Structure 1
Amino acid sequence: MSATVVTPSSPIATAAGRVRDWLTNPKYGPVIVTAVLLVGMFAVGATRYRGFTNPQVIANLFIDNAYLIVLAVGMTFVILTGGIDLSVGAVLAMSTMIAASLLQAGWAPGVIIPLILLATSFLGLAVGLMIHYFQIQPFIATLAAMFLARGLCYVISKTTISITDPVFTALAQTRIPLAPRLSITPSVILAVLVVIVAVVVLHYSRLGRTVYAIGGSEASGVLMGLPIARTKVLVYVISGFCSGLAGVLYSFYTLSGYALTAIGTELDAIAAVVIGGTLLAGGYGFVLGSVLGVLVLGTIQTLITFDGNLTSWWTRIFIGALLLVFIFLQKVLTARRT
């Protein structure tokens, strides 16, 4: 009898196999593609536009999109469970209107900001209760919340309310130096803290494990004794809280409240989460992937600004095309795993 000879795989073949496994994994594949896309977009910008790689340009991505990063964090929790939240843009606008109107009435910022966060969290609680206990589809429940929040904006005021409060003005104008000719705003620090907390909660707590379990299979989660009902409601509370905080950050950014603020921003948040690798069906995704998705959207806008020949509508066109590509990618990867 001849002995069977086992030929060890070469290191290159082993590495290639691992890369292929990662790219075809629905958990990691879309995130890796997003990271590669972001690097590629910066490479294109660096070769075409002078000053595109200036560190302050990169910092401005975080400054301009700090509020969207916070929105995307809340949306990630919701989409991981297989839900959706269409109200985040309207709740953001409502938060700016509450802040601007109460500041105009002489209220202290230390009272207004907690009040906004409490009100938006309560709205998220109401939405979560409707979805779970009354079996209303997330699309319908959050659509109702969107109309409610947007309508309340018009009840407060139909015109722009300027913010002149010294605290808000100081936070809007403050720059935190990181290096010579490189600075960020306090809003970026808050957004980064929200991301860190979300990562810890999703990956190192029972709540996070339950969120992923609901997206994977809610019935299995029930059989395992996980707190499904509480968690399904809580993710909408988190989304409401993040929407309120994003509204506060947007108030710092614009120093005004306006009823028509952030129309369509809920779609930007959803697009960022999906482009960042979170499956619309739930169960797979990372907060850091959603941050990459926000940076991709911001980089598209930056490229268009540097070009100077394209209108802002091209941003929507590119985002729509990317969204279709990533949804198709999700379908392909999940189909291969089934």
Structure 2
Amino acid sequence: MTTTNPDAPVTTPPAAPRKEDRPVGSGRSERLSALVQQHGALAVLLIVSLVASFSFDSFATGDNVSNMATSSAFLAIVALGMTFVIITGGIDLSVGSLFALGGVLAAWGSRHGTLVALLLPLAVCGLIGVVNGLLVARSRLAPFIVTLAAMLGARGLMLSITDEGADTYLIGKGSVLAELGQGSTLGLGNPVWITLALFAGGAVALRRTRFGQNVYAVGGNEDAAALMGVPVARTKILVYALSGLLAGLAGALNAAWLASGVTILGSGMELDAISAVVIGGTLLTGGLGYVSGSLVGVLLLKVIQNVINQIGSLDSSYQQVVSGAFLAVVVIAQTWLGRRRQLM
């Protein structure tokens, strides 16, 4: 049996340091960490572009920049939808297959007019996104499994429409849809302007609307968000529907650009979209992310690809090696910065 000494001094656990008791430089360090996390990819993009401009004569030419911008537009649209999904703490592996499906549906529907060619991929891919959201939000299934099943299902549907890839649907050169994908305005392709408009709308929706606040709240702490009255299930359904819609739209624009629905496209695109979003500063764990960062991440991946093509002696597979290395570095940096900010 233990006894206590009534004359012994009473000890209390040390109190947590108050904000005003923290070192003077901690606030500055925290702001610096946040700045690096948000704009680090932009700094790398500028440095790589500057070095490439001095190293290769054809890199900074108007034609090369225009081609990079146009080819980046389709991945950027997919990455925009992925940004919303990842901020909620989810993942969408179906976007690559939906991209290919959207292109085939747009080319097939172009025989019935531009309106059908645009609305059909949006309706089908958006519906698949809604189903993904319902299964994730209502049935509480793992997003990885749900969207993996959707990826396989969408790819199978695309192959059935094209008779296992034997049929390729073409888009007429003089059609409105072809002009939408192949035309240009002020020296930039129409897909680039559409992408910029979508990102501007996405930034406003994420930062200035209640829907955007709900997206951040769900990703930050789903249980706390539910207690605060945030419609968690509806928010998840909306972000997966948005991801499906944008993947279908990107596929339709890509088909218009190529003047055909190519069945082999979109393979691995979901990984490129996830990489771009994470490189742009969005946390895979959810609760923090930037639309502008995702656009920067896409551009960085495309610049790396273009630099490898400029070198000529390197195989295109090196792009995957470099992209994977960038992603690993960014994830490690995000983890370190997150822990550093918690300690502050």
Q: TM-score, normalised by structure 1?
A: 0.89
Q: How many residues align?
A: 315
Provide, for residues 171-208 of structure 1, a one-character-per-residue CA deviation record: whole Å limited to 9, x for no partner: 3332212xxxxx11111111111101100100000000
Match of 1:125 among 119, 122, 130: 130
Cα deviation, residue 65, structure 1: 1.0
- Indicate yes or no: 2:82 matched with 1:75: yes
Cα deviation, residue 167, structure 1: 2.3
Task: Kindly provide the amino acid, as one letter, of the partner of residue 100 in structure 2.
Answer: A
Cα deviation, residue 61, structure 1: 2.3
- Indicate yes or no: 2:108 matched with 1:101: yes
Match of 2:33 among 21, 24, 30: 24
Rate the CA distance shift 1:52–1:257 in 2: closer, same or farther, 3 A.
same
Please give the residue correspondences for 1:306-325 in structure 2 after superposition, counting only pairs within 5 Å. Answer: 306-325=310-329
Please give the residue correspondences for 1:40-55 in structure 2 after superposition, counting only pairs within 5 Å. Answer: 40-55=47-62
Contact 1:160 1:258 in 2 (8 A): no
Give the corresponding residue for 1:264. Answer: 268
Provide, for residues 225-250 of structure 1, a one-character-per-residue CA deviation record: whole Å limited to 9, x for no partner: 11111101110011011111111111
Contact 2:97 2:154 in 1 (8 A): yes
Question: Which segment is superposed worse, 269-278 or 250-259?
Answer: 250-259
Give the corresponding residue for 1:186. Answer: 190
Unmatched tracts of structure 1, length 5 or more: 1-13, 178-182
2:27 and 2:302 map into 1 onto residues whose CA distance is: 31
Cα deviation, residue 222, structure 1: 1.0
Provide, for residues 298-331 of structure 1, a one-character-per-residue CA deviation record: whole Å limited to 9, x for no partner: 1001111211111110110100000000110111
Cα deviation, residue 31, structure 1: 2.5
Contact 2:181 2:254 in 1 (8 A): no
SS in structure 2 at match of 1:256 = coil
- Indicate yes or no: 2:81 matched with 1:60: no
- Indicate yes or no: 2:256 matched with 1:247: no
1:168 and 1:134 map into 2 onto residues whose CA distance is: 39
- Indicate yes or no: 2:118 matched with 1:113: yes
SS in structure 2 at match of 1:219 = helix
Q: Aligned-residue CA RMSD in angstroms?
A: 1.7
Provide, for residues 34-56 of structure 1, a one-character-per-residue CA deviation record: whole Å limited to 9, x for no partner: 01100110121022111322344
Give the corresponding residue for 1:5. Answer: none
Task: Kindly provide the amino acid, as one letter, of the partner of residue 278 in structure 2.
Answer: V
Give the corresponding residue for 2:295. Answer: 291
Give the corresponding residue for 2:14. Answer: none
Contact 2:107 2:261 in 1 (8 A): yes
Give the corresponding residue for 1:3. Answer: none
Task: Kindly provide the amino acid, as one letter, of the partner of residue 305 in structure 1.
Answer: N
Match of 2:204 among 177, 200, 205: 200
Give the corresponding residue for 2:230. Answer: 226
Contact 1:159 1:259 in 2 (8 A): no
Contact 2:95 2:151 in 1 (8 A): yes
Unmatched tracts of structure 2, length 5 or more: 1-23
Rate the CA distance shift 1:310–1:160 in 2: closer, same or farther, 3 A.
farther
Cα deviation, residue 255, structure 1: 1.6
- Indicate yes or no: 2:154 matched with 1:149: yes
SS in structure 1 at match of 2:112 = coil
Task: Kindly provide the amino acid, as one letter, of the partner of residue 268 in structure 2.
Answer: G
2:270 and 2:47 map into 1 onto residues whose CA distance is: 26
SS in structure 2 at match of 1:257 = coil
Cα deviation, residue 274, structure 1: 0.4
Q: TM-score, normalised by structure 2?
A: 0.88
Question: Which segment is superposed worse, 183-192 or 263-272?
Answer: 183-192
Question: Which segment is superposed worse, 107-116 or 189-198?
Answer: 107-116
Contact 2:101 2:121 in 1 (8 A): no
Contact 2:103 2:261 in 1 (8 A): yes
Match of 1:216 among 210, 215, 220: 220
2:273 and 2:212 map into 1 onto residues whose CA distance is: 20
